[in-house]
A and B are shown apart, each in its own frame.
Chain A
């Protein structure tokens, strides 16, 4: 891991690990879509499912307890399975700087083994991002409870949790279940790709991670994820439209309740600043004044004539004060023992409790938990992070151009003055009247 942050211009080794049937399917999807420079692995109790997977590495767990037949929807069994094979799991995760763990929560293997896999990855010192799905409501309350419990356990261990609520993935009532799952897989594959790009971008790894954390913070926040890509003269506009139409964006409406969003725009070498401007101006319509846009721009010749937009955020979170200290320093060492009490188990038999609507999907970033990190280690990381930021800042201003990829940070100005940008401001009673009235009055 430290290797990773010291030599920031090296691409980061990302290991994508799928746990359980759903996780395996997602990893297969990623493998089939092709994501260069990542290692894929699947891990399951179900030997048949493993046999069908196209992942680079496969690991069967808990042969003793499940006989290769799966955990049958019982997380207890899933947990026993991973305990049985914990050495192989550790071995599978060894040496990965960043682990992306994909799993479908609600069944036996993903829910029972997932938290332990996250734990092992963390033990190795990896940066752990979990992409998890919560079951459809038609799958029943039991699965939902199991999923929720597993999610809480995963949160204790992972650095970031990107959580998708199947119900919100936009499948029509008439959609066949297999089709609905396939759609979810595609979306997750897409989001894995974007987060990978953010994490891997040379020079600004930690900045990207830090921003992801800010953007995704909050236990009860709902996930926002939008992706769009387009070519042609109007590609900026079209790509954004597409991103805003992504099922998890609720047509951009959700953005209005968001305090931080991360927007990444990538394009080939001909990506023009004007296009970015168009895009950001348009995006501004969907967010409120208080929303901070963490904007990153990347040029990647592999994209050719494509322009890609990724929007990541969380709705329904608490505002956060953006002090510079909070921005540049990593979170204080989390105690080895989880500070948070496990959520009290709802009374399983009570009809009332069970009929309560599920909380919306969560796309949450918890404080990093680094069980093996000493205070010294954390301080050193903070220092390195600052240095990385400084270096990045120098690159931005000093024209030290990189060949392969370039990333810039921009603070988007939500209160635009437009035509009056350069003229003497009209200030009356402390208000800049050049800023549109409707923006100042928030109508």
Chain B
């Protein structure tokens, strides 16, 4: 691996398309060279619904990134998300030939293949199989079993899969722009790479990324990814609720949400009003702050409760040593930390607070965490496997295979 390599992380989000150009150095150092952005259109709930419009936005963001970084972009690491993406944990087992008795590299592939010997819907493809733990002859705590003597190699995997055609939608978009996709990564998995450091993964942490159309999450325990998922509810839903509840257009609801919205319902003074600034028609209308906060609160609480329910295992949540981390634009909502703490029972860290990682200023924007996370992900996987196992994954997705 050369001393410096340039990678581009691309997120086609519901609210914005964002491309981060970074240079990777040894020692895990990442330098961001430029961030290109464009408002997203034609994307709903993190999935492309209007291909042509979305393509334009992607092009815009890439051009912006090229200008800002002075790098010509040929390939990207692409984040994908959507409610169709599911995950589960499964163990793969392989028996080492008796005449050998030693574990070789190639056994890894077999054990992963064994873990994937489960039924996923025929229309789905695997996105990621991530090793959680190895066991050699039933003994755990093995970090790297290569070269170890043993009869049986087992590995627990966290396996993520999604509907092939939907993933291909994003791929097609880049193919038309003649951009190579180096790897496809589930968005929350990417974001988690910038949100957590290794120590926090070991302690156990839950990251929730509330974007425009979806809310993704990743849970780490004992240094391994244990849960990941995506719920098709996001900041747009809050805006929509406000728009319907207060009878104001979406654009005004969005502004009202960002400027005045809060999930804190107990901080409201009785009878407190917000004056809606004048636009056509609704001149100087007043709305009750209690009503606004209530609408926001209901939605956010429900969303967080659904995430908790999706994780399923209360013990996993109870033992989160590092607590809960919030990212994505939705984490900017006032009062979020309090509500998250109430629902998950852990202290909350907001990724835009400089306490998390003082790497570069771009890290402080929670809306960028997925795209930046992609570059970190690229860095980690490149280190592990210089050739990149994505090369094997991609044709599979393209061919519908598993």
Contact = CB atoms under 8 A, between A and B. Distances in A.
A282 B247 contact: yes
B233 interface: yes
A391 to B, nearest CB: 35
Contacts of B294: 438, 443
B243 A419 contact: yes
A285 B244 CA distance: 9
A436 B244 contact: yes
B45 A424 contact: yes
B7 interface: no
Nearest to B242: A436
B240 A438 contact: no
Q: Which of B44, B237, B243, B244 has the most CB of A within 10 A?
A: B244
B295 A419 contact: no
A372 interface: no
Contacts of B299: 436-438
Given A423-B45, A424-B45, A433 B298 contact: no
B298 A441 contact: yes
B306 interface: yes
B236 interface: yes
Contact of A419 (B240, B245, B298): B240
A233 B239 CA distance: 25
Interface residues of B, number: 27
Contacts of A401: none
Interface in A400-439: 416-420, 423-424, 426, 428, 433-434, 436-439
Given A233-B281, A419-B240, A437 B232 contact: no
A210 B239 CA distance: 39
Contacts of A420: 44, 236-237, 240
A58 interface: no
A175 interface: no
Contact of B237 (A281, A416, A434): A434
Contacts of B281: 233-234, 237
Interface in B220-234: 231-233
Contacts of A437: 241, 295, 298-299, 301-302
B83 interface: yes
B244 A281 contact: yes
A421 to B, nearest CB: 10
Contacts of B247: 278, 281-282, 285
A349 B173 CA distance: 87
A416 B247 CA distance: 12
Interface in A35-87: none
Contacts of A443: 294, 298
Interface string B288-316: 00000011001101100010000000000
Contacts of A281: 244, 247
B47 to A, nearest CB: 8
B264 interface: no
Q: Which of B239, B247, B280 has the most CB of A within 10 A?
A: B247
Interface in B245-269: 245, 247, 250
A235 to B, nearest CB: 10
B49 interface: yes
Contacts of B237: 420, 433-434, 436
A418 B306 contact: no
Nearest to A237: B281
A436 B303 CA distance: 12
Contacts of A418: 240, 243-244, 250
Given A437-B241, A438-B245, A426 B298 contact: no
B233 A433 contact: yes
6 contacts: A418-B240, A419-B239, A419-B240, A438-B241, A438-B298, A441-B302
Interface of B: 44-45, 49, 83, 231-233, 236-237, 239-241, 243-245, 247, 250, 280-282, 294-295, 298-299, 301-302, 306
Given A420-B44, A428-B231, 15 more contacts: A233-B280, A237-B281, A419-B236, A419-B239, A419-B250, A423-B45, A424-B44, A426-B45, A426-B231, A433-B302, A436-B299, A437-B295, A437-B301, A437-B302, A438-B298
In the A-B complex, list the 8 residue pairs whose CB atoms are closest, starting with the nearest: A436-B241, A426-B232, A437-B298, A423-B44, A418-B240, A438-B298, A437-B299, A419-B240
